Structures are given as structure tokens and as C-alpha cells.
Structure 1
Amino acid sequence: MPIASVHEFTAELTVLHRGTPAEGVVVLDLGHLDNTYLPRWQPGAHIDLLLADDLVRQYSLCGDPHDATTWRIGVLLDLNSRGGSQYVHEKLQVGSVVRVRGPRNHFPLVDSANYRFIAGGIGITPIMAMVEAAEQADSDWTLLYGGRTRGSMAFAADLAERYPDRVTLGPQDECGPLDLRSLLEEPENSALIYCCGPEALLAAVEQQCAHWPKGTLHIERFAAKAPTAEQEAAALEQFEVVCQRSGVTLEVGANQSILELVEATGIPITTSCYEGVCGSCEARVLEGLPDHRDSVLSASQRESGEVMLICVSRSCTEKLVLDL
């Protein structure tokens, strides 16, 4: 996984098209008015919208990765919005200009002959490009897609019409909860599972996949996962962080994050969500054992201890040496 860079592509893009594919969802096509090429991206990638100085939000790209001039995102109006989705819905119209950074991908589609995609609500956005990539690669794939109501499920009708034998829709008011047990009861040889949606769905999928081979399940979260009791017990309240390249040593207290201290010293680092879900503040670990509390790194990446997200993660050793 690449380390996030303070030199990531950043540009002012224009809203070229705006649509409403479902209740409470808007789709925006972003690009340059002169059709200047944008950086390439792969399924699973997301971008940051820098809506204001203190308002940065991440949205998955759900368009065509082969379209080099347009980035498409889908945004659900969150009833408990802290400002991001409300800003997008109310202020970003056709012709509006918005500052964008990225793309960044911590949910990459691994090559496989067999995929089982599971989406809940707006979690369909990163899955959209994955479905198309699997289809183009002639892989065996299915999509189980749920939502509160059929009308709230963006792109549902189009997906079901194009792939009637592969897509199963499960509006909760019509069908109840998604039938995960039937889909995941028996591990399939070489199958990879990709899931995105609300935390309740992700937790249920994790539980159903507990007996599947390690590395089979790939999940993207929109909100941080709470640390376990074991994590709380293993982490130190105070520890030292050495920023190797900068020659700076930081003393991290119980109520401080590594990131806030790094920023306070002026060490350059990309920041965005501050919640461990976007992956922008990833740092390489040179010495010490991180206490991973993010919702981005895979199990193998956590076990290797080679990188960490410094906005939420802490330390299990008295000293961490980071490549900062």
C-alpha cells in the first residue's frame, strides 16, 4: 500500500453534471471544463472534497475508471450530517467549483476468478466500479445489494436490468434483512468477498465470514470501528514518538493523538478524516509496535506492523520511530 503524500493531486474541479439516482442521494460528475485529464484510478478508490478549511469529506469514485476526464461520486444526505453531505446536497450544483484531492485507494480490487459483492445503501458506490471490472475480466461474480427501500437504493434498477442473473436486490421493507447466511454459509474456493455499507451490515458479514479463509473478506468502512477491550488494555497511555526524518521527538499523552502533535510541530503530512477511515495520514513504522485503531489496514498489514494511521492509532511500546 502506498504511503499517502503531501504532494497528492489537488485541483479545483467543476460540477459538470448532477443527478438524483435515489431518494436522498445525489451523483456528481466532476472535471475540468476543458476536459483536461485527471489522474487514473482503480476500483475502490476515493477522493477528498475540501469543502471548507475545517470540512473535508471522503467519497468513493463510482464512475468509469477508463474515463480520464471525469470523476463521479454519489453522496447520501446523512440525517445526522456534521456538515459534509448537507454542503454537497445544498451547495454543489452544476457549475459549482470544489477543491478535490486524491485519488487514494485502501480498498483495492484483488484479481480473482470469483467475487461475492455485498453492498448496503450508499455502500454501493465503491462496489459499482468493481462489478464492472469483474464483468470485463469475465470473472464469476454476484452482487447482494440491500437498502431501506427500493427507492433509496441508488443504481439498483440499472444493475438489476443489466445483470439479472448476478444481482439480487433486498429492500428491507420488502424482504427483511439480507440473507447473508445462504450466501456465506460455505466457503467457496478462490472466492473473494467485498463489502461496503453501514456498520451493522459489516459486523454481520464479518461474523458470517469468520470460518472463511484468511484474507478472503475485504471491507470498507465509512465510520471508525470502536477499539476492543483488548486494544484498550494493551495500549500505553503515554509513549514517545521519534519522527526520524524530521529529527523531532514527541511525547504523546493519554488524551493526545500522534497526528495532532505532528501537525503542531509543522511536519508535513496529508490529513483528512481524523477518524482512521480515509488512510491519508499513513506513516511507515521503523521501530516499535503500533496499536492499530483504524478501519483501513488489512489484518496482514496490521500484523506486519510496517505502517500505521497516526490520527487514531497509538503504541504498545514505549517508543515508536516513524518515517516522518
Structure 2
Amino acid sequence: MADQLWRSRPADLYGRRRHDRLFNTLWAAMTVFGGIAAISRWRPSQVVPVPRTITAVVAKREMLTGDVVALTLVDPDGGLLPSWTPGGHIDVQLPSGRRRQYSLCGVPGRRTEYRIAVRRIEDGGGGSIEMHEAYAEGDTLVFEGPRNAFYLGTGEGEALFVIGGIGVTPMLPMIREAAARGIDWRAVYAGRSRTDMPLLDEVLAVDPERVTVWADDEHGRFAGTDELLAGAGPHTAVYVCGPSPMLEAVRVTRDQHAEAPLHYERFSPPPVIDGEPFELELARSRRVLAIPADRSALDVMLDADPTTPSSCRQGFCGTCRVTVISGGVDRRGRTAEGDDEMLVCVSRATGGRIVIDA
């Protein structure tokens, strides 16, 4: 622009363009003030770091049943917690170093507080006992997340929620969301007895006409798939969460209906099928772990180091993904694994030993 203005000025007898001092002064002033204005509008790029861990305060502790405790978590400064969707869970970092995953079972999307519920398992891995004994009201709790691998679908016209015991935790927000969306939903809630069914009153409060309660002590037996899937047509979306035997029974039955969508989440790892023993070498520590035929590599790694990263333990979240340095991999994950990767929660070795970067 300046060059064009300069060349537009008439030349003198020698072909030179005379300098107009007033013009030059005004042009210089405009340039200076223009630069200052540009600088005043400039801001350095700011990347707001996303915290890997979040510290919350236990605002409320209540026993839902004789062996299920519910913890309500809030931001220590009274702020909002990260957004979440029904089916989402958080990864709690226990004082011992263990990491355990618990579904959010509060009002869908509520960010002023989270609620989780934990069933005490005496012969488990110790995490549930620690959750029951380590936290009182006013204590701090550290977690990562939330994240979600168990979404409520957006295109379903009708849905059936099959609930087994503590499996109610991800289902309750889903049911509330389904009711809010106007989905034609039903639920079957099964358990040993009504007093052993956590959050049963809240499930019934959504719409008691749509909920079937199956208490084993009232019927003298466990619910079969005929009862659990009663009325589910070939196009009914089925969501199931509960003990492994219930989940497997529902899954096998629904596999007979090719067009029937099935969504499920386990609270325990899937059983190892056709497993062969192998050795897992951790390259960094040079430690060699013996993996038996009926246990996953992750289970054995957690025995050696409770802080080993893991989440879903079903092969779809990718948290336990590791780099394979040598050895063949029998890939069994529900998420993609690269040629040099392995999900230690489900995948196994094809040979005698596999070496991983861990």
C-alpha cells in the first residue's frame, strides 16, 4: 500500500519523486499507532492443562444396604466437577495405590456432585474393603475421569434394562435419561432379596409400572433368561449390567437374534477362555511373571504392582495398552491393537514368552 502511494506521486525533471514531509510524518504516525493497536490486541496462546487427577471431598457417606456404601463427592472449593453422561465411571486412586472403577449413579449430568456406590466383597482383591473403610465424610478422594464406554444409544425407540445387584449403578442414570428422552423403556431388576438391591427405591421412583423386580427369595430361584428378557423383541435394545453368569446368559440368548442390539458392562473381568500359560517379561525391571492358563496378564501384573494402569478390564478402553518388544500376541481386545501393542487385560501370548515395555 505504501509503495503504491509513493509511486503515484509525480516525478520531477530528473525522474525523482519528491518527498512530502507532511505526508511522510502522517504515514509514520499511522504505522506506529497501527502497530501499537495490533500489539494491544495480541494475546499469547494459552493451553489450559487438563488435570490428570481430580481431588474431591466426601460430602456424604451412607449405607444403601448391609454391604453397599454410597459416597457423594463434591469439589473442595464448591466448583463444578467435569461433565459426564449416563454409563460413565471414574477411576478412584485408593490410598494403598490400588485403582478401582466405579460408575456414577447420581442425577444424569449433575456437576455439583458425583455419587458412587460400592459393594463390599470380602474375598475380592481388597479394593472394595478399602473403599468401605478408608473414606469418611470430610475425607478427600482422588480420581481420574470421568470416562464412558457404556453409552445409552441415541437411536433406540425401545430399550430393556437388565439389572443385577450392584449393576444398578450405571443403569439408574440411563433409565432416568431414557425417560427424559421419551424412549419406550422397561427394566428388570434381579437380586437375592429386595433388601439386597441398592437404589431399588430410586429405580422404582422413575416409573414403577415399567419396572419388574425379581427377588430370588420370593421366587425360590434365580431369574432365568425368560424372565430377564421377557417381552424383548428382535429390535429392542438390551442393556445389561450385573454378575458374570447373568451377563453371559443374556448375551448368549440375545446372540440368537441377529438384529437385536446388546450393550453390556462387566464389574468383573471376563473369564479366560482357551487360555494357555505363558511368561510375561517386563523389560524395564527385567522381571518375568508367570501367567497361568486361567488368569489374565493384567491380573498377575496387578498382584506385582497394584498401581498398574487399568480401567474396563474388558478390552475396549485401551488403558492397559502396552508396547510389545518381542513375542507373538493373541489379540482378544474389542478395541484395535497395533502390530506392536497388547491389551494385557484380555490378550495373551501365542508362544512361551512375550516381552513388553513396562
Query: TM-score if structure 1 supplies the norm length?
Result: 0.75
**What is the count of residue pairs matched by the alignment?**
298
Unaligned runs of 5+ residues in structure 2 are 1-49
Report percent identity of matched pairs: 32
> What is the Cα-based RMSD across aligned positions, in Å?
4.1
Which of residues 173, 186, 195 in structure 2 aligns to 1:142?
186
**Structure with bigger gyration radius:** 2
- Asked if 1:29 is matched to 2:68, the reply is no
Residue range with higher mean Cα deviation, 136-145 or 269-278 = 269-278
Higher relative contact order (CA closer than 8 Å, sequence separation 6+) = 1
Q: Deviations over 1:251-306 (max 9, x none)?
A: 9988368879x99xxxxx981359547935254999x9963456xx3xxx479999
Which of residues 114, 117, 142 in structure 2 aligns to 1:74?
117
d(CA) in 1 for partners of 2:53, 2:98: 16
Which of residues 226, 238, 241 in structure 2 aligns to 1:181?
226
Residue range with higher mean Cα deviation, 63-72 or 118-127 = 63-72
d(CA) in 2 for partners of 1:305, 1:106: 24
Change (3 A) 1:183 1:276: closer
d(CA) in 1 for partners of 2:346, 2:196: 32
Q: Secondary structure at the match of 1:52?
A: coil
Alignment of 1:1-324 (within 5 A): 9-111=52-154, 112-175=156-219, 176-184=221-229, 188-213=233-258, 216-229=261-274, 232=275, 237=278, 255=290, 271-272=309-310, 275-276=313-314, 279=317, 281-283=319-321, 291-293=330-332, 297=334, 301=335, 309-315=343-349
d(CA) in 1 for partners of 2:322, 2:260: 22
Unaligned runs of 5+ residues in structure 1 are 1-6, 242-247, 264-268
d(CA) in 1 for partners of 2:52, 2:70: 22
Change (3 A) 1:97 1:135: same
d(CA) in 1 for partners of 2:97, 2:199: 31
Residue identity opposite 2:97 in structure 1: D
Are 1:14 and 1:32, in contact at CA under 8 Å, matched by a contact in 2?
A: yes
Are 1:44 and 1:105, in contact at CA under 8 Å, matched by a contact in 2?
A: yes
Are 1:187 and 1:213, in contact at CA under 8 Å, matched by a contact in 2?
A: no
d(CA) in 2 for partners of 1:189, 1:90: 45
Are 2:104 and 2:170, in contact at CA under 8 Å, matched by a contact in 1?
A: yes
Query: TM-score if structure 2 supplies the norm length?
Result: 0.69
